[in-house]
Amino acid sequence: MRTEGRDKWWNVIHAASPYFGHLGLVILLSAITINVVGEVKEQGKIALNQKATIAGITLRLDDAQVIQYADRQSFQASLSVLDQDGAPTGNIVSMLEKFSTSENLQAQVGILSNLTHDIYVVLDEADATPGAQCVRITVYDNPAINWIWFGGGILGLAGIFYVIPAM
């Protein structure tokens, strides 16, 4: 008797999976459209312990320092993301690294992600000398990134449930 109930629910899930697949596709395509239309990219400069609004995001530079490793030199900027009242809502660390084997600089993007948007901070230039600590950054505000993953996940699960045969 227990098996019949399980088989019945599995048949319902199997039959409904194309509808969930279409729902996942609608969420995925809507999120991609929102992200393409709503993405904001802006460059700005911030001095130590100063605030700046870049790409609609208020940031404060908390620390800018140079760290020497055995194989590279790392310029690190630690930034706080602030709300309208000036209270920190998150922290982003972005880096520029220069390896001893190369003359090129390699950026390590700082990311702060939540349900409504992802904030990416790219450290373009750093002056970490004491007294002059400031950075030039590029900030990307991408809305709906997590919704792209959510819609893709629903689409993928619906496909898996559809290809597994009904019992």
The string of pLDDT tens digits covering residues 114-146 is: 888 899 999 998 876 666 688 999 999 999 999
Q: What span, in angstroms and rounded, lies between the C-alpha atoms of 130 and 124?
A: 19
Find the range with the poorest average confidence among 11-15, 57-61, 155-159: 11-15
Residue of 57 and 11 predicted with greater confidence: 57
54 band by pLDDT with thresholds 50, 70 and 90:
very high
Residue 1: pLDDT above 50? no
Burial of 108 (C-beta count, 10 Å sphere; 0-12/13-18/19+): middle
